[in-house]
Amino acid sequence: MKKNLSNAILTVMKVFLLFIAIGLTSAYANTAVGQVKVDIDVKSISIEELFKEIQKTSDYIFFYKDDVLKTNKKISLKFDNAKVTKILDEAFQNTNLTYKIIGKQIVVKKNENKISESISDEEIVSQEKNIKGVVADANGQPLPGANIIIKGTTKGVQTDFDGKYSIEAKAGDILVASYVGFITKSATVGSSLVINFVLNEDAASLDEVLIVGYGSQTKESLTGAVSVIKADELQQAPTSSFEQSLRGSVAGIQASAIDGAPGANTEIRIRGIGSINASSEPLYVIDGIPISAGSQSTNDNDGASSNVMASINPNDIESISVLKDAASTAIYGSRGANGVILITTKQGKSGKATIELKTLTGFNSQASKNILKPLNAEQYKELYIEGYVNKGLTAEAAQAQLDNLYTQQIDPSTGEATDTNWLDAITRTGVTQSYDLSVRGATDKVKYFMSGGYMDQESYIIGYGFSRFSGRSNIEYKVNDYLTLSNNISVSDITSSTAPDGGSWNNPFKSTLELSPLIPIYDEEGQFNSEHVSYFPIGSNPVGSLSGDDLWETNTSRIIDNFAVSINPIKNLVFRSQWNFDVLSINESTYYNRRYGSGYETNGYAYEANTTNKTWVGTQTLDYTFDFQSNHNLNLLGGYEAQQTIRESFSASGTDFPNDVVKTLSTAAAEYSIAGSKSEYTFSSMFLRANYNFNSKYYLSGSIRNDGSSRFGADNKYGTFYSVGASWNINKEAFMANLSFINMLKLRTSYGLTGNAAIGNFASLGLYGYGNDYNGSPGGTPSQLANPDLTWETQENFNIGLDFGLFKRINGTVEYFDRLSSDLILDVPISPTTGFTSLTQNFGSMSNKGLELTLNADIIDKNDFRWSLGFNTTFIKNKITELDEDYTDGAYRRQVGEDFQSFYMYGWAGIDQTTGSVQYYTDETETTITNNIGQASRYLVGKSATPDFYGGFNTSFSYKGFSLNANFMYSYGNYLHDSRAVGSLGDGRLTPRSTATYLFENRWVEGKTDALFPKFQWGGHSGSNQANITRWLYDGSYIRLKDLTIAYSVPEKYTSLLHLNSARIYARGTNILTFTKDKDLYIDPEQAINGSYSALTPAMKTISVGLDIQL
Amino acid sequence: MKNYNKIILLIMIGFMLSCSESFLELSPQDSVSDEEAITNLEDLETSVTGVYDEISGAYYYGRYMFMIPDVMADDVKQNLSANRIVDYAEHVQNVSDSQANALWTGMYFANNALNNIINSDVEVTASTQDEKDHLIGEAYALRGLVYFDLVKLFAQHYTFTADASHAGVPIILEFDPTLEPERNTVKEVYDQIISDMTKAISLMKTTSRSANSNTLSSVAVKALLSRVYLYKEDWVNAEAMATDVIESGYTLETNANYLNLWAADNSTESIFEIAMTETDNVGSNSISGLYLSPAAGGYGDYLPSNDVVSLYEAGDARLGVFIDDPLLAGDYAPYRVNKYPEVLGYDNVKVIRLAEMYLIRAEARAEIGTNILGAQQDLDVVRQRALPTAPTTIAIGDALKDAIFLERRLELCFEGQRLWDLMRKKKNIVRTQCTSSICEIPYGDDTNILPIPQNETDVNPNIAQNPGYNK
């Protein structure tokens, strides 16, 4: 049934597009001219009425003084497709009027020669003088094309390329400066002949143009929920990827920089988690192309330190639109369910070329001061002996153990007993440098933006680094009135170096806590200590490893090209053909040295891998705006899109190296191992969208998309997704006229169906897999159960929002959403006796409901002094609404009626303060206590990783050239689970690994009554190896000052001396302050969205200084 | 103008056409459809090889099929730093234990792959019928082996009840993803094992495909079957099967070359061993990893107990598999096991070898009681190979049985057998040199077998949990 319907819709869409195609060609044949020509058919009207008529049917605007049109001449004209000059020449016959066309402005004047006799004495008294000035934005950027109008008249001018204007005005006249997207300002003409305007951006402006899927819309016409992040929030952030700037930026988005290693991923969820087993990551679209995001390498270092989005230079981004509801995302069909992040890169701007140079130098350290610290030698020895004594050995026997096995070493560099602080030894102050040069401008025909950037970031961990070279060229060439070509190309090359994270032996943070402080870093020969016997967990030496003895390098090259042809054959019709290529090539190199650590047993180990990921996307769209010459306005968009992505990877490893100088595979003597894989997927889609409005007051929108994909099962190949939306500009109603303090009031709502196709490439097929080789022969086994019904996850999405603006100072949005994700891909567990443990099905459903609040206020807005506040928050309730069967998934219980991220654990009843042993609750009643975890059972502990609310707030002050901006992010009510504690704080479970001072100071000893940890004994206690205990659960609420910038714009009088347009110096702190609700929290609060701490690198703090200059 | 028309028309038509169905029909590059997987002889061979690979993993013969029963018994003691499978050493394993789950899941995964082979319908020519029979026979034999391992790990031994009517494991012979099976009795499982192995012997050739002990021959299956009969206390058949194997041409390594048995692959007495090659091995997840010292690159989690080491007489060649480690102290001193000498996990895992055949026949003959001399001689073959100076056995009756039982311990320690020997002899596990918190576990204790994994009981309402394990 679903398939039949889909096919029917597909057929209809094909026919529709064909119709458009044929219609287009015939329409094109009838039309020979572009927009500059006008149809006119009027009888006996005044000149003023004629001007209005022309303004209505074209883009021209007339400027003239009131008295100019004092003529009774009536005009009758009839022209088809006439040039405006021809019409005006005809109309102005026998008048004393002349005109001049400047761009889209037509300035009408009296012919001075003919009217000189009519100037009266009175006019001489209040003689007009020439007022000049510059219109600029808050950053001092000139605004070309801004309008300056004398209030109460229609007389006005526009600023030139340098933002300069000059106008004839009388004293007492009020000049009004306005510019799209900025708050209008006025000034009264006094004695001064110079009036400069500084316009501030108007976040609430309804004229603001937003980028949406397959086009752009004014804010006024929007029916969907779209938030925008502007370029100035992304520029020169000392972070490797722009995604980190999204943290706390707009309502509805939960972004967490889960890994502090340079180049690492940022996890992003838009309006909650929409899927259980498929991806919950949003779709990323750059300049119209869906692109590959996340980690694409064969090995992401056991963590997340690999992110292809870091290949995009944040300075190249003009804006980021976050699409949140169905009205905005349904046009992306089966890929829209998790929201869409649209990235638009900078385009050329009309005006003279501006050249910008941005530089930044920063110093990196660890953001959270509260992390676990390693033991010193004295503490380690004390704990070591205690561990055995508590196990029943005599103190002498325990001492003998220590002396025999893990004896105190002498540091050869000092000759004294070693007391190594491994944490200090692997940390440093890293340096970040960033340089960015760009040029941006336009001529009549060509708009261009070009940039080159270099960023180099050293982590606060030795050996960790990230560097990026990037170049971009965005060119748009207007061939003629109806043909425009554009090409955006970006090339980048990033290199990152980080050790494996998580449980890996090579995770430096893990090692610093587990290594004994009794062993030195260097041996007698000054080499990194490779003493292998018993001391190091598998003999690693993180300092040597990170100092170059071992190697972990990932090099990513990426080219994204976007070529488009736009044809504008007749007025209001645009055909656009866009072809996009995204080519990613990732090279990974790993080397483990021969002397110690992972490469010791094999006499060196090298691994090399190459991954290429190629995507092409072809998008053809037709966009037509119906012009009813009335209050009705209808825009239609139809399109076809095809995508193919092919990923290939190849990896090889070898062992047994002649020395540690040569590290290539060709120098390996033994144990070659190779692997390769290839996988692809395709999408083929058609879509339609209609936007209608009446009188710019009532808006309706609808979209429909049909997606076919290679990923969907044979019985469910095509899916159809749709949305409807409506909005109402209430403040345009007559009854609102008296409520002048309300300058905006808009109600909008939408409903729609979207999908989540991130289900894996061949999930529906029954497969027999290979690679199960034995004794040199190829082997194969059944590897996947078939489910031909398997298909996308669906999501119903309802949204209602109110946008408001008050007193021209305050604006905000209140929005409610209800996402119901269903047909969720579930690996429904089946009896393992079948040979499989689960069957992948579309089964469960989950709901995310929430409320978003956004508020921005300009508290003070004087010419010199400005203070504004911004605030956003999102309340969210997640609930699993349908499952085949409740099940336990690691630390979580997936249970109907509960939050998806509900922790399911053994209840910790604290330490028995008289004996120092562990205590657990036997069950959820928490009434009975046991020392034996075997007698306890897990239960829902009523805590979840999902925050009650999260968001961000910011404030900015500016006074003259100085400005101060502070951006905070926060999360409240979420819990964090330290799943690594069983290793690093294991009550002595793992002999003879060291531990942290937190355990040392809080362990039970005779007489201590507030112990947090049990009696320390080697081998641990009952449950010491169990991570899913509430003792490892912490309140994760926090506030982080993610960005603090103090800047000074050098006044023009100095910059002009240096022939600079502008210069700005600033100091910036990133992640400089962090407040956690739980004072004992010993991990960075910014963790994976699922709340699981898995020993990823803690967040980085950067203090930087920068200089931006503009030529 | 006309040209523009044409260009636009072409673009339009072009993208209409590109929307063909085939654009969306992709197949994976590294798998084939399960329906097309077994269509010819080569596919059969590939599929049988795939099962050998499955049983070679760390969660089966690669490590835990030997290590788990051994740490549960009395030949092995925990080292200070023991971490892996320490719950088993302490007899506190629970239903959510990941090793029990991996063993259960892996064994039934292999079972399904084997059913897939046995139930396949491959047409071959007369000239290749033998090859097909042999491959199908291997599948039967491996299925028998998998059920034998399942029933040993997850159920009490055969003689735990008089008629072996206590719960065994579910027998699944056909693929059905909706199955929620009950447990068959131990007797039913043994009957299935014997049926599968007997069928295998009838189909297979006496030489293996690999011409060595890395894959099964009919003789190797007889060796496995003789062990099955032994556990079932079907002495007559055990003796018969062992005799067939002993007479089939394998020879014991000499006393001088005894250690070669462990250092080399495919020795002359090896009947079936799991291949580990340089490019395909379990790496550090190997048995050697758990025994060898950190100095040698292992984890060194487990040590040989003096309980067993002290039983050898001076000069016994088998003492060569214990190495002194001066870094061990106290109860942990002084030895390490060196039966698995290759720390990189390259050791082939010896599943069954000729020495055990002599010991099985000796035990069967001693139990039958009609050929005591034969029993004594079989025992001496093994004993005097290790210690040529050992006197000829003259014991009879229970003393002979005890001597055979002792010899099994001395010969087969650290080969994953001790626990089953204790269980079928209804003996307690007694650890004299004990580094665990539990030093004696009585016969028949609930903790001597593994729990049915929670992943099974959660989804299968029909399966009964083993006693002593809560939900």
| Candidate from A345-354, A639-648, B426-435 with smallest mean pLDDT | A345-354
Residue-wise pLDDT tens digits, B326-357 = 878 778 889 999 999 998 889 999 999 999 99
| Tokens (6 digits) for A456 | 């180099």
DSSP assignment, residue A332? G
Distance spanning both ends of chain A, measured CA to CA? 63
Q: Provide the pLDDT for residue A107.
A: 72
Beta-carbon contacts below 8 Å between A and B? 257
How remote is the C-alpha of A925 from its chain's centroid?
43
Judged by CB atoms closer than 8 Å, whether chains meet at B26 and A401 is answered as no
Q: Which helix (H) or strand (E) holds A468?
A: strand A465-480
Contact criterion met (CB below 8 Å) for A690 and A16: no
- Residue B8 to residue A567, Cβ atoms within 8 A: yes
Structure-model confidence comparison of residues A519 and B451, the more confident one = B451
Whole-number pLDDT of residue A148: 87
In angstroms, the Cα distances linking A495 to A456, A469, A553, A940 are 9, 9, 7, 44
* Cα A252 from Cα A849, distance rounded (Å): 11
pLDDT at A114 over 50: no
Give the per-residue pLDDT at A771. Answer: 86
**Distance separating alpha carbons of residues A195 and A183, to the nearest angstrom:** 17
How confident is the model at residue A524, as a pLDDT?
86
**Least confident interval from A416-430, A435-449, A1053-1067:** A1053-1067
Q: What residue has token string 């109907």?
A: A896
What's chain B's average pLDDT?
92
Alpha carbon separation from A1037 to A908, A950, A972, A1086 (Å, rounded): 21, 9, 4, 9
Per-residue pLDDT averaged across B375-383, rounded?
97
Rounded distance between C-alpha atoms, residue A836 and residue A782, angstroms? 9
- The Cα–Cα gap between A288 and A51 comes to 39
- Once rounded to an integer, what is the mean pLDDT over residues A581-609? 90
Q: Decide the pairing of beta strands A164-169 and B349-353.
A: unpaired
CA distance A258 to A266: 6
Does residue A32 have a pLDDT over 50? no
Report yes or no: B58 and B282 within 8 Å, Cβ to Cβ.
Answer: yes
Between helix B218-232 and helix B235-246 the angle, nearest 10°, is: 150
Cis peptide before A992 (omega within 30 of 0): yes
Nearest C-alpha of chain A: how many angstroms from B31? 5
The pLDDT tens digits of the residues spanning A644-702 come to 999 999 999 999 999 988 888 889 888 778 888 899 999 999 999 999 988 888 999 99
Number of domains in chain B: 1
CB contact under 8 A, A775 and B275: yes
CB contacts of B13 in chain A (<8 Å) are 21
Q: A173-187 pLDDT, tens per residue?
A: 888 888 876 777 888
What phi and psi, each to the nearest 5 degrees, are found at residue A479?
Answer: -65, -45
Q: Do A779 and B29 touch (CB under 8 A)?
A: no
Condensed to tens digits (0 to 9), the pLDDT of residues A1020-1033 reads 888 888 899 999 99
**Nearest Cα to A323, choosing from A223, A203, A221, A205?**
A223
Asked whether residue B256 is domain-assigned, the answer is: no
Closest chain B residue by Cα to residue A617 = B15
CB within 8 Å: B11 and A989:
no
Closest chain A CA to residue B469: A934
**pLDDT value for A27:** 35
Is the CB of residue A1018 less than 8 Å away from at least one CB of chain B? yes
Q: Roughly how many angstroms between the first and final C-alpha of chain B, as a whole number?
A: 79
Chain centroid to CA B204: 21
Closest CA to B151 of B46, B232, B240: B232
pLDDT above 90: residue B52: yes
Least CB–CB distance from B294: residue in A393, A533, A832: A533
Least CB-CB distance to B31: which of A775, A783, A836?
Answer: A783
Average pLDDT, chain A: 86
Tokens coding A431: 């340096």
Evaluate whether A770 touches B113 at the Cβ level (below 8 Å).
no
Confidence class for position A103, pLDDT limits 50, 70, 90: low
Rounded Cα–Cα distance for residues A913 and A521 (Å): 39
Lowest mean pLDDT among A116-120, B78-82, B460-464: A116-120
Nearest CB neighbour to B181, from listed A24, A773, A831: A831
C-alpha to C-alpha distance for B447 and B94, rounded to whole angstroms: 9
Tokens of A1004: 């039970």
From chain B, the residues in CB contact with A773 under 8 A are: 49, 53, 280
Residues of A in contact with B52 (CB under 8 A): 774-775, 779
Q: Which of B28, B92, B214 sits opposite A762 (nearest CB)?
A: B28
Residues of A with Cβ-Cβ distance to B33 under 8 angstroms: 765-768
pLDDT digits (tens, 9 = 90+) for A898-948: 999 999 999 999 999 999 999 999 999 999 999 988 889 899 999 999 999
Q: CB of A986 within 8 A of CB of A978?
A: no
Is A11 in the B-facing interface, judged by CB distances under 8 Å?
Answer: no
**Parallel/antiparallel/unpaired status of strands A975-978 and A1092-1093:** parallel
Residue A639: list chain B partners with CB under 8 A. Answer: none
Distance of alpha carbon A921 from alpha carbon A21, whole angstroms: 71
| Complex ipTM more than 0.90, yes or no | yes
Contact (CB, 8 A) for A461 and A427: yes
Between A1049 and A67, residue with greater pLDDT: A1049
- Domain contains B419: no
Q: Which residues of B touch A783 (CB under 8 A)?
A: 31
Percent share of chain A, pLDDT over 90: 46
**Residues B280, A775: C-beta atoms closer than 8 Å:** yes
In terms of C-beta density within 10 A (0-12 exposed, 13-18 middle, 19 or more buried), how is residue B6 classed?
exposed
Instruction: Say if residue A137's pLDDT is above 90.
Output: no
Residues of A in contact with B81 (CB under 8 A): 990-992
CATH number for position B6: 1.25.40.390
Interface test with B, best of A482, A775, A839 (most B CBs within 10 A): A775
Give the closest residue to A346 by CA, choosing from A462, A240, A475, A250: A475
Q: What is the pLDDT of residue B222?
A: 98
pLDDT-derived band at A841, boundaries 50, 70, 90: confident
Of A539, A670, A765, nearest to B33 by CB-CB distance is A765
A129-137 and A197-199 strand pairing: parallel
Q: Rounded to whole angstroms, how far apart are CA atoms A600 and B344?
A: 11
Q: Does A934 touch chain B (CB under 8 A)?
A: yes
Which range scores top for mean pLDDT: A252-261, B72-81, B266-275?
A: B266-275
Q: Where does the pLDDT of residue A125 fall: very low under 50, low under 70, confident under 90, or very high at 90 and above? A: very low
- The 8-class DSSP code of residue A461 comes to B
Burial of A700 (0-12, 13-18, 19+ CB in 10 A): middle
Residue B460 domain flag: no
Of the candidates A884, A896, A787, A889, the one whose C-alpha atom is nearest the C-alpha of residue B459 is A884
pLDDT of residue B14: 54
Query: Is the predicted pLDDT of residue A28 greater than 70, yes or no?
Result: no
Residue that wins the pLDDT comparison between B345 and B425: B425
Asked if pLDDT for residue A250 goes beyond 50, the answer is yes
Contact A396, A330 (CB under 8 A): no
Interface touch A18/B80, C-beta < 8 Å: no
Contacts of A776 in chain B (CB under 8 A): 277, 279-280
B58 within domain boundaries: yes
Give the distance from residue A960's alpha carbon to the nearest chain B alpha carbon, in angstroms. 55
Read off the pLDDT of each residue in A611-629 and give the average, rounded to a whole number.
89
Give the best-scoring range by mean pLDDT among A157-161, B52-56, B78-82: B52-56
Q: Within a domain: residue B417?
A: no
Q: Is A709 in Cβ contact with B23 (below 8 Å)?
A: no
Q: How confident is the model at residue A537 (pLDDT cuts 50, 70, 90)?
A: low
Residue A1058 has pLDDT above 90, yes or no: no
Give Cβ neighbours of residue A971 (< 8 Å, ≥ 6 apart): A254, A947, A949, A950, A1036, A1037, A1038, A1085
A136-149 mean pLDDT: 77
Would you tell me which residues 183-202 of chain A have a C-beta closer than 8 angstroms to some C-beta of chain B? Answer: none
pLDDT at A122: 41
How does pLDDT run across B238-248, given as a tens digit for each residue? 999 999 999 99
CB distance B183 to B168 below 8 Å: yes
The verdict on residue B91 lying in a domain is: yes
Identify the pLDDT of residue A47.
77
Residue B416 has pLDDT above 90, yes or no: yes
CB contact under 8 A, B54 and A772: yes
Q: Which domain holds residue B160?
A: 1-204
Strand partners, A622: A575, A638
pLDDT tens per residue, range A33-88: 334 667 777 777 777 777 777 777 777 777 776 666 666 667 777 777 777 777 77
Q: Would you call B31 helix, strand, or coil by DSSP? A: strand
Shortest CA gap A35–chain B (Å): 17
Looking at residue A1008, its amino acid is K
Sign of CA dihedral B284, B286, B290, B294: negative
Name chain B contacts of A677, Cβ cutoff 8 Å.
Answer: 29-30
Q: Which residues of A958-969 are buried (b: 16+ CB within 10 A; e: fewer)?
A: beebebebbbbb
Q: Look at A539 and B294 and tell me if their CB atoms are within 8 Å.
A: yes
Cβ atoms within 10 Å of A245's Cβ, excluding its own: 24
What's the per-residue H, E or C state across A896-965?
CCCCCCEEEEEEEEEECCCCCCEEEECCCCCCCEECCHHHCCCEEEEEECCCCEEEEEEEEEEECCEEEE
**Nearest CB to A833 within list B116, B170, B343:** B170
b/e code A666-694 from CB counts within 10 Å (16+ = b): eebeebeeeeeeebbbbbbbbbbbbbbbe
Q: Which of A602, A776, A990 sits opposite B344 (nearest CB)?
A: A602
| Residues of chain B with C-beta less than 8 angstroms from the C-beta of A778 | 46, 49
Taking the CA of residue B401 and the nearest CA in chain A, the distance in Å comes to 39
**How many CA atoms, within 13 angstroms, populate the side-chain half-sphere of residue A812?**
18
- Mean pLDDT calculated for residue range B104-128: 95
Distance from CA of B242 to the nearest CA of A (A): 27
Beta carbons within 8 Å of A568's beta carbon, 6+ residues apart: A34, A481, A482, A483, A484, A574, A575
Q: Please compute the mean of the pLDDT values over residues B162-189 and round it to a whole number.
A: 96
- What is the model's pLDDT at position A533? 53
Average pLDDT for residues B109-124, to the nearest whole number?
A: 95
- Residue of B16, B26, B330 with shortest CB distance to A397: B330
Determine how many CB atoms are found less than 10 A away from the CB of residue B180.
Answer: 16
**pLDDT tens digits for A466-484?**
999 999 999 999 998 889 9
> At A748, is the pLDDT very low, low, confident or very high (cuts 50, 70, 90)?
very high
Give the minimum alpha-carbon distance from B135 to chain A in angstroms, rounded to a whole number. 13
Bridge partners of residue A465, in order along the sequence? A458, A497
CB A51 within 8 A of CB B27: no
What digits encode the pLDDT tens for the residues A369-410?
888 999 999 999 999 999 989 988 888 888 887 887 777 788
Of residues A236, A146, A135, the one with CA closest to residue A194:
A135
Option in A400, A679, A831 nearest B459 (CB): A831
Q: Tell how far CA B154 is from the center of its chain.
A: 14
What's the half-sphere exposure (Cβ side, CA atoms, 13 Å) at A631? 6
> In this predicted structure, what is the pLDDT of residue B339?
95
Do the domain assignments include residue B15? yes
Q: B449: distance to nearest CA of chain A, Å? A: 16
Check CB contact under 8 Å for B24 and A710. Answer: yes
Q: Which residue of B has its CA nearest to A26?
A: B5
Q: Closest Cα partner for A406 from A252, A251, A533?
A: A533
Q: Does B24 contact A682 at a Cβ distance shorter than 8 Å?
A: yes
Report whether pLDDT(A121) > 50: no
With respect to residue B79, please indicate whether it lies within any of the assigned structural domains: yes
| pLDDT above 60 for B3 | no
Share of chain A above pLDDT 70, in %: 91
Q: Interior CA angle at A344 toward A476 and A342, to 5°?
A: 140
pLDDT at position A25 is 36
Could you check whether the bond before residue B461 is cis, i.e. omega within 30 degrees of 0? no
**Surface of A (528-557) touching B: CB under 8 A:** 532-534, 538-539
